[in-house]
Chains A and B, each alone.
Chain A
Amino acid sequence: MEQFLLMNTFSFPILSTAIFLPLVGAVLLFFIRNETAIKVTAFITGLINLILSLFLFSGFNPETHNFQFGEFIPWIPSYNINYVLGIDGITIFLILLTTLLAPICVLCSWTAIKERVKEFMFCILIMESAMIGVFCSLDFVLFYIFWEAMLIPMYLLIAVWGGPQRDYASIKFFIYTLFGSVFLLVAIIAVYLVTGSFSIPNAMFRDYSMNFQIWVFLAFAIAFAIKVPMFPFHTWLPAAHTEAPTAGSVFLASVLLKMGTYGFLRFCLPITPKASELFAPLIIVLSLIGIIYGGYVCLSQTDMKKLIAYSSVAHMGFVTLGIFSLTLFGFEGALLQMLNHGVTTGALFLCVGIIYERTHSRQIFDNAGLGKIMPVYVGFFGLFSISSFAFPGTNNFIGELYVLLGIFKEHKIAGLFAIPGAVLAAAYMLRLLKQIVWGREDKRPIADMNAREVIYLIPLCILVFWMGLFPRPFVFTVEKTLGYLHSQLNTILR
């Protein structure tokens, strides 16, 4: 265990604090009656956690591929289950993204959620806990518990505060994801029986038999493919996205979808490298279908949220494409693209939430022609939509570039098929943008964004440019971890 894990050097268990602080905040909410106080408490909890994670980042050592800030407590010794936490280059930014979005989600629900505010904030904070937990866990059982525990608050967010079809959407979301997770559980047990421990790093890069790898890979892949979601398993996503409240959509798009691709990077590649190589063409084909199919479906959407939801299918296709190109560029691009998608799509959902609060409609036509009515809003919306189709200078451009570099290196044909996907993205996003800005002539009394809304979009705005213009710090942080992963894969596969 020790060789993978650099123990925590802070004076307190920083990862545990990051996981359990929101939980404590959530419990605190039960003792508060005043609604404003509840919102403020939730926001402050999120903010403290954000600051904490910035500390984490400042202490992060990008020079090593090992897991850092490690914590190790025996949990169920007879089964060799331990409470092990640690982060590396893959997870540090995902945690930062989560902690950044949590306070934003509180802010964006400030007025949108009118009933059962306490329970809503409770769910948001529990979600944050579970999501950070998923990224920090280095023990299969711990990971699985967080992974599943996340389902419950997310289900409630959709089922209680969702739109008119929430009943259908929430059930579909829950059952779909649970279906995948059950196979994950079986695969976890299978790996345990071979390695004798539930430690994730311990299970990596071992010499398993091919047969074993194939089955474990398939079990993993089905769980993660549903979460991503990849092409044939994506049908839960539009339903869940459209019906979820804004904060739910943001968490769903920005963090939950990343868990699937995180799973591919963390489990499939290191634990079952040979099977990953074997199935890579299949996954690449599915990703390409997702990219192109998602793009075409987007072109015909009249519902803003649905459009962005389907665009997620396409964007996540790029991520899986990058991962299964099995090149270093592909990995880096995939990771960057995960962050980009989190920032951009999250921001787009926030934008939809802002306009929905005013017009109570998600239809493009109802919200068209805002150019003169809401200039500030349109400014933000425009920025995030051009970033979404990877306009040079914005974050997505860098990510897609890396992915395409990776995929062209390995599979030229696949690269060729990915290009139309990128063009489609421009087509549907520009179509949406055009409608929103100039779609209608009539003047309607819609208030422009208020200070609170501007405040929570600004950090995302900065990130769009930062990652687009100066991505070096991001790449530098993840380089070592991904490089190690790549070199290990190379030694095994070649």
Chain B
Amino acid sequence: MLILPELYLILFSIIFLFISLGKSRQNTILTAKILSFIALLVTAYSLTGRDSLFYGAYRIDLYSQIFKLLIAFGLCLVIFMFSDKDGIEEEFRPEYFMFIGLSSLGLMMLSSSVELISIIISLEISSYSLYVIVPLRRSQDSNQIEASMKYLFFGAVSTGIMLYGIGYLYSITGSTFISEIVPQFRNLMGLPFGILALLLTLTGIFFKLSLFPMHFWAPDIYEGSSNITTTFIATLPKIAATALLIRLATIATPAHYSFVNALIILSALSMTFGNIVGLVQRDIKRLLAYSGIAHAGYLLMGILTLNIDGIASAIYYITIYVFMTLACFYVIITISRQGENTSIDDLVGLSKRSPLLAMTLAVSAFSLAGIPPTGGFTGKFFLFTNAFRQGYLPIVIIGAVNAVISIFYYLNLVRMSYSKDAGDIEIMRLSAHERMMCYVLIFIIIYMGVLPFGLMNLFKFSLFY
């Protein structure tokens, strides 16, 4: 029962497949909520599993299980955010949940895969389901069609590039198992050929992470797909991508200067580009897309140290990133009435309409900007410390300057909801469920900001395997 979470997600998808065949559409959301919560419990139950399956292609260890738990938690939260007013038409909901489940399955498999072919297969499982759900949105206009086409094409191209890189890796080392590639590859990393192979392989992951230069899909797809789909795309694939990025990037060691330098450049460009373009966005989802690009850069800053502490802090960062982004999206989902996109101007007077939502938004925005005592600060702090310790001072300074740039647009969100006066104010009444969600998200963000050591030690511990 080591792959219980994966099996459960298959079951999850099958259940919704059957529901989609039937006539009744009532209680779909409730069913999804209950089933996703069970998914969380199941994944938590199998946290301590440890084995190697399928001839060594699939590894179950604390590292992969932590990522799976995070994916399950994210899935659970995303589904709990699902509400009647969201832009998914009622008749498509079972299919929608089915695809979300399948995509999560692919992501979970991704975090366990230690062999190149199974990585590609998991990646495709997770991607194909997403290609289907992107255009699912009420009020069909060209936007979501455009978004889904772009996503499909860019996804296909990036997978192509990745396969090309994998071809190189295989041709150099004669193996598709990461554990066999590592020892042979260490010697080849000094050669341009080796660096090229690894970088090309990472391209597919950069695409998922929306890291510069594979970022260009993100704003359009965020904008075009429905709010809940965007929430999913903005968070869960990035978790699995981080897991995989860490596995693949650690093929190199800190001694491989040119590879590390390439990552430093990518990281710097990604955060600078994301933050600067983010400054002029009016649509909050587009804004968060650019914020995601910038955060991918921060994340890479932890990974490029290529040592345990740095990577543990990268895991910490992706964890807090998921929660703060979810909190931000939750506010968008809740204030948008029929699932339409929200612009910054829609936030005006939010603190009077619904103080709790305004507070959730403020906490997540401050966290995204990296202001203590939120988790975003703690995460950035660990990243900066470890990058600095490895001697990469320039990237630390670029990161610090970027934190200042980004505060402009994050603060803009808070500013709109707090200091702008709205003409007519209608009070939003939040249901108990909505309030609960807000409290949970705020709690997690603050908790990760103030008491990071338990999680941090866990992440570090998981890396020793």
Asked if B420 contacts A185 (CB within 8 A), the reply is no
Q: For the complex, is A182 an interface residue (Cβ under 8 Å from B)?
A: yes
Asked if B388 contacts A151 (CB within 8 A), the reply is no
Asked if A77 contacts B388 (CB within 8 A), the reply is no
Q: Tell me which residues from 121 to 164 in chain A have a Cβ below 8 Å from any Cβ of chain B.
A: 141, 144-146, 148-149, 151-152, 155-156, 159-160, 162
Asked if B381 contacts A182 (CB within 8 A), the reply is no
Asked if B415 contacts A159 (CB within 8 A), the reply is yes
Q: Which of B385, B401, B460 contacts A192 (CB 8 A)?
A: B385
Bound Cα distance from A230 to B351, whole angstroms: 34
State which size class the interface on B falls in.
20 to 34
Chain B residues with CB under 8 A of A192: 385
Bound Cα distance from A171 to B404, whole angstroms: 12
List the B residue with the shortest CB-CB distance to A158: B419
List the B residue with the shortest CB-CB distance to A198: B385
Bound Cα distance from A378 to B456, whole angstroms: 59
Interface flags, B168-188, vs A, CB<8A=1, else 0: 000000000000000000000
B interface residues with partner A (beta carbon < 8 Å) = 309, 351, 355, 362, 366, 371-373, 377, 381-382, 384-385, 388-389, 396-397, 400-401, 403-404, 407-408, 411, 414-415, 418-420, 452-453, 456-457, 460
Asked if B407 contacts A178 (CB within 8 A), the reply is yes
Q: For the complex, is A366 an interface residue (Cβ under 8 Å from B)?
A: no
Asked if A182 contacts B372 (CB within 8 A), the reply is no
Q: For the complex, is A119 an interface residue (Cβ under 8 Å from B)?
A: yes
Given A160-B351, A167-B420: A189 touches B373 (CB 8 Å cut-off):
no
Q: Which of A178, A185, A190 neighbours the largest number of chain B CB atoms within 10 Å of its CB?
A: A185
Asked if B460 contacts A170 (CB within 8 A), the reply is no
Given A160-B351, A186-B397: A148 touches B372 (CB 8 Å cut-off):
yes
Q: Which of B414, B419, B453 neighbours the largest number of chain A CB atoms within 10 Å of its CB?
A: B419
Q: Which of A76, A148, A174, A179 contacts B453 (CB 8 A)?
A: A76
Shortest distance from the beta carbon of B193 to any chain A beta carbon, whole Å: 35
Bound Cα distance from A336 to B66, whole angstroms: 54
What is the count of residue pairs linking A and B with beta-carbon distances less than 8 angstroms? 81
Q: For the complex, is A78 an interface residue (Cβ under 8 Å from B)?
A: yes
Bound Cα distance from A148 to B414, whole angstroms: 16
Q: Which of B384, B385, B404 contacts A178 (CB 8 A)?
A: B404
Shortest distance from the beta carbon of A299 to any chain B beta carbon, whole Å: 32
Interface flags, A66-107, vs B, CB<8A=1, else 0: 000000000111110000000000000000000000000000
Shortest distance from the beta carbon of B54 to any chain A beta carbon, whole Å: 35
Chain B residues with CB under 8 A of A170: 415, 419
Given A79-B385, A148-B371, A175-B404: A156 touches B418 (CB 8 Å cut-off):
yes
Asked if A78 contacts B456 (CB within 8 A), the reply is yes
List the A residue with the shortest CB-CB distance to B452: A76
Asked if A75 contacts B404 (CB within 8 A), the reply is no
Q: For the complex, is A462 an interface residue (Cβ under 8 Å from B)?
A: no
Bound Cα distance from A167 to B415, whole angstroms: 7
Bound Cα distance from A178 to B373, whole angstroms: 14
Chain A residues with CB under 8 A of B373: 145, 149
Chain A residues with CB under 8 A of B396: 186, 189
List the B residue with the shortest CB-CB distance to A179: B404
Q: For the complex, is A166 an interface residue (Cβ under 8 Å from B)?
A: yes
Shortest distance from the beta carbon of B271 to any chain A beta carbon, whole Å: 13
Q: For the complex, is A193 an interface residue (Cβ under 8 Å from B)?
A: yes
Q: Which of B362, B384, B418, B457 neighbours the largest number of chain A CB atoms within 10 Å of its CB?
A: B418
Chain A residues with CB under 8 A of B372: 144-146, 148-149
Given A77-B453, A178-B371: A186 touches B415 (CB 8 Å cut-off):
no
Q: For the complex, is A293 an interface residue (Cβ under 8 Å from B)?
A: no
Q: Tell me which residues from 164 to 210 in chain A have a Cβ below 8 Å from any Cβ of chain B.
A: 166-167, 170-171, 174-175, 178-179, 182-183, 185-186, 189-190, 192-193
Asked if B407 contacts A175 (CB within 8 A), the reply is yes
Asked if A167 contacts B400 (CB within 8 A), the reply is no
Chain A residues with CB under 8 A of B362: 152
Asked if B419 contacts A160 (CB within 8 A), the reply is yes
Shortest distance from the beta carbon of B371 to any chain A beta carbon, whole Å: 5
Q: Which of B371, B384, B389, B414 contacts A186 (CB 8 A)?
A: B384
Asked if B381 contacts A141 (CB within 8 A), the reply is yes
Q: Which of A152, A179, A183, A185 contacts B381 (CB 8 A)?
A: A185
Chain A residues with CB under 8 A of B457: 78
Chain A residues with CB under 8 A of B408: 175
A159-B415, A174-B411, A186-B400 given; 19 more Cβ-contact pairs under 8 Å? A76-B452, A119-B355, A145-B372, A145-B373, A145-B377, A148-B377, A149-B373, A152-B362, A155-B411, A160-B419, A175-B404, A182-B401, A186-B384, A186-B388, A186-B397, A189-B384, A190-B388, A192-B385, A193-B389
Bound Cα distance from A152 to B365, whole angstroms: 11
List the B residue with the shortest CB-CB distance to A141: B381
Chain B residues with CB under 8 A of A190: 388
Q: Which of A152, A175, A183 contacts B366 (CB 8 A)?
A: A152
Shortest distance from the beta carbon of A413 to any chain B beta carbon, whole Å: 37
Bound Cα distance from A193 to B392, whole angstroms: 12
Shortest distance from the beta carbon of B394 to any chain A beta carbon, whole Å: 11
Asked if B411 contacts A189 (CB within 8 A), the reply is no
List the B residue with the shortest CB-CB distance to A144: B372
Asked if A193 contacts B388 (CB within 8 A), the reply is yes
Bound Cα distance from A141 to B397, whole angstroms: 18
Q: Which of A148, A167, A178 contacts B419 (CB 8 A)?
A: A167
For the complex of A and B, the 4 pairs showing the least CB-CB separation, nearest first, are: A159-B419, A145-B372, A182-B400, A148-B372
Shortest distance from the beta carbon of B460 to any chain A beta carbon, whole Å: 7
Asked if A78 contacts B453 (CB within 8 A), the reply is yes
Shortest distance from the beta carbon of B413 to any chain A beta carbon, whole Å: 12
Asked if B453 contacts A75 (CB within 8 A), the reply is yes
Q: Which of A78, A151, A192, A193 neighbours the largest number of chain B CB atoms within 10 Å of its CB?
A: A78
List the B residue with the shortest CB-CB distance to A190: B388
List the B residue with the shortest CB-CB distance to A192: B385
List the B residue with the shortest CB-CB distance to A175: B407
Bound Cα distance from A490 to B418, whole angstroms: 50
Shortest distance from the beta carbon of B105 to any chain A beta carbon, whole Å: 34
Shortest distance from the beta carbon of B240 to any chain A beta carbon, whole Å: 26
Bound Cα distance from A151 to B366, whole angstroms: 11
Shortest distance from the beta carbon of B223 to any chain A beta carbon, whole Å: 26
Asked if A185 contacts B453 (CB within 8 A), the reply is no
Chain B residues with CB under 8 A of A178: 371, 403-404, 407
Chain B residues with CB under 8 A of A166: 419
Q: Tell me which residues from 233 to 274 in chain A have a Cβ below 8 Å from any Cβ of chain B.
A: none
Q: Can you name 29 A-B residue pairings with CB atoms under 8 Å?
A: A78-B309, A78-B460, A145-B377, A146-B372, A148-B371, A148-B372, A149-B372, A152-B362, A155-B411, A159-B415, A160-B419, A166-B419, A167-B415, A170-B419, A171-B415, A174-B407, A174-B411, A175-B404, A175-B411, A178-B371, A178-B404, A178-B407, A182-B401, A183-B400, A185-B384, A186-B397, A189-B385, A190-B388, A192-B385
